[in-house]
A and B are shown apart, each in its own frame.
Chain A
Amino acid sequence: MKLPLPPLPAALKPKPKRPAEEAVKPIDQVKEAGIATVDWIDERTSLSGATRWILFRKVPRGTNWFYTLGSATLFAFLSQAVTGVFLAMYYDPSVTNAYESARHITNDVFLGEFVRGMHKWGSTVMVILVCLHMARVFFFGAYKYPRELNWVIGVVLLILTFVMSFTGYLLPFDQRSYWATIVGVNINGTGPIVGPFLSDFLRGGAEFGSTTLSRFYAIHMLLLPGAIIALIGAHLYLVTRLGTTAPPWLKAESGDGIREERV
Chain B
Amino acid sequence: MADGRKEPKSKYTLDRGMPGAFEGETVTRRRFMELTAHGAGAVAVSAFALPALGFAAGSALFDRPPVEWQPVGPEDAFEEDTYLPRTITEVAGIGQVGRTTIYVRKRNADDPPPNPPGIDEPYVALSTRCMHLGCPVRYIDAAKRFVCPCHGGVYDFLGTVEGGPPVRPLDRFYTRVTDGQVEIGARYSVNSEFRRFPSYRDPAQDLDGVGQYLYPGRFSTPKMD
Contacts and interface: CB of A to CB of B under 8 A. Distances in A.
Given A179-B135, A206-B65, A210-B93, A193 B216 contact: yes
A163 B45 CA distance: 27
A206 B221 contact: yes
A200 B61 contact: yes
A195 B215 contact: yes
Nearest to A211: B60
Interface in A153-192: 178-179, 182-183, 185-187, 189-190, 192
Given A96-B94, A196-B216, A200-B220, A205 B134 contact: no
A209 B134 contact: no
Contacts of B216: 193, 196
Given A183-B150, A190-B204, A195-B205, A209 B98 contact: yes
A203 to B, nearest CB: 7
B35 to A, nearest CB: 29
A178 B134 CA distance: 11
A148 interface: no
A183 B132 CA distance: 9
B97 interface: yes
Contact of A206 (B56, B97, B214, B218): B218
B204 A189 contact: yes
A156 B217 CA distance: 31
B220 A205 contact: yes
B214 A201 contact: no
A207 B204 CA distance: 15
A253 B216 CA distance: 61
Given A96-B95, A179-B135, A209-B98, A204 B60 contact: yes
Interface in B68-91: 90-91
Interface residues of A, number: 29
B200 to A, nearest CB: 8
A186 B203 contact: yes
Contacts of B10: none
Interface string B98-121: 100000000000000000000000
Interface residues of B, number: 34
Interface string B191-225: 00000000011111100000000111111111000
B63 interface: yes
B215 A200 contact: no
Contact of B202 (A96, A193, A199, A201): A199
A208 interface: yes
Given A183-B150, A186-B202, A206 B93 contact: no
A142 B93 CA distance: 53
A195 B203 CA distance: 11
A209 B94 CA distance: 7
B133 interface: yes
A8 B46 CA distance: 85
B205 A196 contact: yes
Interface string A107-148: 000000000000000000000000000000000000000000
B214 A192 contact: yes
B179 to A, nearest CB: 28
Given A96-B95, A182-B134, A206-B222, A189 B57 contact: no
Contacts of B150: 179, 183
Contacts of A193: 214-216
Interface in A3-38: none
Interface of B: 56-57, 59-61, 63, 65, 90-91, 93-95, 97-98, 133-136, 150, 200-205, 214-222
User: Which 10 pairs, one residue from A and one from B, show the smallest C-beta to C-beta distance?
Assistant: A189-B202, A192-B214, A206-B220, A183-B133, A209-B91, A95-B94, A182-B134, A204-B60, A186-B134, A186-B133
Interface of A: 95-96, 178-179, 182-183, 185-187, 189-190, 192-193, 195-197, 199-201, 203-211, 215
24 contacts: A96-B97, A179-B134, A179-B135, A182-B133, A183-B150, A186-B133, A186-B203, A192-B215, A193-B215, A195-B205, A196-B201, A196-B205, A196-B215, A199-B202, A200-B60, A200-B61, A201-B60, A204-B60, A205-B59, A205-B63, A206-B65, A206-B218, A209-B94, A210-B93
Given A95-B95, A195-B215, 14 more contacts: A95-B97, A186-B203, A186-B204, A187-B133, A189-B203, A190-B205, A192-B215, A193-B214, A200-B218, A201-B57, A204-B60, A205-B220, A209-B91, A210-B94
